[in-house]
A and B are shown apart, each in its own frame.
Chain A
Amino acid sequence: MSSEIARTNPTPPPPPVERMVFTPPIDIYETDDGLLLRADLPGVSLDTLELQVQDNKLTLFGRMQPSIPEGARLLHQEFETGDFLRSFILSDEVAHERISAKLNHGVLEVLLPKAPKAEPRRIEVRTN
């Protein structure tokens, strides 16, 4: 009887595994040319990293993909795999079009160059 019920009510497929989203720790410091941002993104490679600027918002998204072989049994856990997400509002003093970035040993480095200050312009006043 019980096997009959089991057959008519098949177990639903397991829900998709939800990935955790982490806020990566960052450093921001001033250089002579602008600001330098560093973010710790362990396990993120160039292929799984997205960096974009929209309006005045800089967003970084990285997917952690540690190479764990199939069938490995977890014995002890101190960190979880997931995605890194963080966004920043850029001030007007950053030259958006000259932003550059590199990824080295799990650290993203974004260079935010200072926009040149607008020079005061003299406006000639004429009279009729």
Chain B
Amino acid sequence: MAVFRWGHSWDAFHDLEREVDRLLQSVNMTFQGLRFSRQYPPVNLYELPEEYLIMAEVPGVRPEDLELTVAGGVLGMKGRCVEPEGTSEERFRRQERPRGVWQRSISIPDRVNVDNLSAEFTNGMLKIHLPKAEAAVPRQIPVAFGS
């Protein structure tokens, strides 16, 4: 009986190679995180012609635990990472996911129409639409040609 199979041993080698690559990548990410003193949740900010878009990674938050506020040019996000109920610490074999209550504030520019903010929550991603105020949307100015 063949105990050792070549095919499998190479597969394992490739797996290891990939694992090392990934490890290096994650170390890189950690350095980045330290440099920018990472906050939770991580957000990306995009600009579109008519609006700004904030995307935040908030997996595991129930929509009813999510709280969005806007006051004085500051957008407040608040939520809670749900913990399994009635689970004692010693039952965990591994605990890596962030847990507990989180809060983050982001100042928004004056050029945003705060009365028309809207947000969607899909697949653990929070997407906040910040429509630009009228004045910030580029307007065509007709130029008259003098004769």
Contacts and interface: CB of A to CB of B under 8 A. Distances in A.
A28 B94 contact: yes
Secondary structure of the B side of the interface?
mixed
Interface stretch (B39-47, B67-75, B139-147): B39-47
Nearest to A21: B22
A71 B61 CA distance: 29
Interface string B115-145: 0000001111101000000000000000000
Interface residues of A, number: 39
Interface size class of chain B, counting residues whose CB lies under 8 Å from the partner chain = 35 or more
Given A28-B94, A78-B38, A36 B84 contact: yes
Nearest to B121: A105
Most chain B CB inside 10 Å of its own CB: which residue of A42, A75, A107: A42
Given A76-B43, A77-B44, A105-B62, A40 B124 contact: yes
B92 interface: yes
Interface stretch (A61-69, A93-101, A116-124): A61-69
Closest 6 pairs between A and B when the two form their complex, measured CB to CB: A106-B124, A106-B59, A78-B42, A25-B96, A42-B124, A72-B46
Interface of A: 20-23, 25-31, 35-36, 38-45, 66-69, 71-79, 85, 103, 105-107
